[in-house]
Structure 1
Amino acid sequence: MIVAAYGAQASQAVASSSPTVATAFSSSVRFSRRDWNTRTSTEVEEPGPNHWDGSLATVDEQGKLHLKISKNGQGGWSCAEVFLPSSLGYGTYTVKVSSPTNDLHENAVLGLFTYADVAQSELSNPHREFDVEVAKWGVASDSTNTQYAVQPYQLPGHRLRFAVPGPEATVHAMTWSPNELSWTSTSASSGALLQSWSFKSTPEVGAVPPPGTEVFHINLWLFEASLPQDHADVEIVLDSFSFEPLKAPSRKLLSLQLRSGHLRRRSTPSSSTVILTGKTVIML
């Protein structure tokens, strides 16, 4: 499915991540049988811009990932981010979010997304960024609270915003394949479909880039680096992450009808098909 982003009342843009030259990655966490780097910055960085503290990403005894936004010693707030050390490429990325997200603070953003630090200017999506984002972009009254986005989100057809109702756990999945991206969001308890969307390469909307140096990120951050001073820390708990590589296309099915009462075998350079009396034989 992550995710983070751009948005803000459908007009303001916020970079989802930033080059890591000013960032120190001093620790890692083990989540869903994978090692994840944590993000710690020496100064404010996008998105936000915010301070980033690796200690705000932890895994509990049940193996769940906790991300927090917390007050820091400078009188502001620090945010949390984890990311995988290498690209996974084509396939389905699935994240189960244990915490209800319908009442997430209007300035908090949960991002589930792919991102490459090094941009490739020849690509329509230079950072290979595809997002699932839970956010109201600073508007408490906004009924929408989740979006799918293909960067640059400002282009027509690159974003879908919708509402996830109710205080329940959610599952967000994103499938990346050549020339197409697709998303689904479902209820973790009932399996009910909350939303789905697909984005295909066309001359009008641009091309889906191939895998490169992008890695999957999960972060929790502050839109415009702002929370009311009397507000408590913000925390999101994620149950699991999984990845299923894209399966290679299967060989075409071959179907032949028997024309005689004898068993025959016909070979081709790439396949062998057995034909039985009165039967249809299919081989992959």
Structure 2
Amino acid sequence: MPSSAYRLVAIVAITLAAPVAAQTSPSITGTWKGDVASAKLPTKPDIFAIKDGRYTCASCTPPIAVTADGSAQAVAGHDYWDHLTVRIVDPLTVAYTYARGGKTVSTSTDTVSADGKTLTTSWRSTDNAKGIEQSGTSTETRIGPVPAGAHAVSGSWQRAEIKQVSDSSLYMTFKDAGGALAFSQPSGETYTAKFGGPAAPIVGDPAGTVVKVRRVGARTIEETDLRGGKVVSVYTMTLAPDGKTMTVVTEDRKAGTKTQFVAYRQ
């Protein structure tokens, strides 16, 4: 699944799969929408700082350390971008630009409240198969003080709430394709993977993610995403008995975090 340091998003640009269950179970075929209000966010804190002209992110995977002077800095080890620009806007605001292959793919802005207790992150991205603009806003609560001499955004933060995410990131369509699961999103990403079969590519994913799907129970399926042969995330989807909702638990194996939300049949 597409991800980056600003995205909570992890949280919100979502790749799902769901079961084609026994005859007595409801069908997953149809269109669903993730509900951001239902999200249970990771408990692992975000830890970053801007101090002495440097931006460091200890909680990023892998950690980041670059010059915060408004120029593009090479960053290795991140799946969807290879350069990061960090620009101090004012005493309470910092802007970030993410690029891949010399092209900007997303931007974000961190703004600290006047009392220093809340961090609001707003992001925009065109890094999807159709190149459409997607956006989102989320908040975090301070759990660690600002280091001496650092910018106000610095410190330890606990993710609190997703305020908004573009519908094109939240809608998803599934189809039981005779022993395989077909998936698509409005932003253009698609896959068709056989249950219990080999990994299938996510078409339109710039990081080359492939997917394996398997049934875990009558109403539950597990999706495993891999890049370079390594597991990067696991999704467990459980359809409600009435077929109207689906609970999704997302494990980010690289970051060591877990997110849960509910999707509603449309």
Same fold (TM over 0.5): no
> What is the TM-score normalised by the length of structure 1?
0.27
1 or 2, which has the higher strand percentage?
2
Higher CA-based Rg: 1
